[in-house]
């Protein structure tokens, strides 16, 4: 966990300040990112510990390299589905509700308020790589049906690294790896996002 934080901080710290000025002096960006990945609780990993997550954010761009970000993320466990064809063009699907984290739990819900610094490096006129590092205020529950087994909140590390393509009209797409440390719960996801600069 600490090594991961140092790597993300080093990436942000080594970005050059010689990038071009912010595109068209547009300092604001809003966006959303949908991602999926895995979670571990007290270092326990097993099949069924997958998560799905939605992240909405706002950026204020100070210059061509640095921005401040604030966002809200929400996520939950993601179950596999097994489908089989019963007749032509008719299927039946069953939810594979696997247990989580060796706890005999079947539900995970979490939410986060995130503040972070974002640094970006321009590869071409419209292509950038970027890194974000900050803090997140988290709350999560692990449950078995309606029985809550774990209910925690606190402050943890947030990190993200990715690639972004920015069109001249303000629309951008990005691919990202994201990491959130929520105490005993750690989440790693890969996602795709859409944003608008104005």
Q: Percent of the chain beyond pLDDT 90?
A: 66
As given in the structure block, the two tokens for residue 186 are: 């750690």
pLDDT of residue 100: 83
Q: How confident is the model at residue 122 (pLDDT cuts 50, 70, 90)?
A: very high
d(CA 51, CA 33): 14
Length of the chain: 198
74 beta partners: 54, 111
Res 9: pLDDT:
47
pLDDT attached to residue 84: 72
> Could you tell me which residue, 12 or 175, shows the higher pLDDT?
175
Tokens found for residue 15: 């970005």
Confidence class for position 20, pLDDT limits 50, 70, 90: very low
Residues forming beta bridges with residue 176, ordered by sequence position: 162, 191
Span 145-170, mean pLDDT?
96
Angstrom distances, CA of residue 190 to CA of 54, 95, 157, 187: 11, 23, 17, 10
Q: What is the pLDDT of residues 27-86, one digit of tens each?
A: 999 999 999 999 999 987 665 588 999 999 999 999 999 999 999 999 999 865 567 777
Map tokens 């990190």 to a residue: 159
pLDDT value at 12 more than 60: no
Which has the closest alpha carbon to 99: 149, 24, 165? 149
């Amino acid at each position: 966990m600490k090594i991961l934080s140092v790597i993300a901080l080093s990436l942000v710290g080594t970005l050059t300040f010689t990038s071009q000025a912010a595109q068209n002096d547009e300092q604001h960006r809003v966006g959303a990112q949908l991602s999926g990945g895995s979670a571990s609780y007290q270092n326990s990993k097993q099949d069924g510990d997958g998560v799905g997550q939605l992240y909405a954010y706002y950026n204020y761009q100070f210059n061509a390299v640095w921005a401040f970000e604030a966002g809200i993320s929400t996520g939950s466990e993601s179950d596999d589905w097994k489908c089989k064809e019963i007749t032509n063009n008719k299927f039946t699907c069953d939810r594979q509700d696997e247990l989580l984290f060796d706890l005999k739990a079947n539900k995970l819900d979490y939410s986060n308020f995130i503040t972070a610094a974002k640094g970006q490096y321009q590869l071409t006129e419209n292509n950038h790589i970027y890194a974000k590092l900050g803090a997140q205020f988290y709350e999560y529950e692990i449950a078995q049906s309606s029985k809550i087994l774990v209910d925690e909140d606190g402050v943890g590390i947030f990190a993200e690294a990715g690639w972004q393509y920015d069109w001249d009209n303000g629309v951008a797409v990005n691919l990202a790896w994201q990491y959130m440390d929520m105490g005993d719960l750690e989440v790693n996801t890969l996602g795709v996002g859409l944003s608008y600069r104005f």
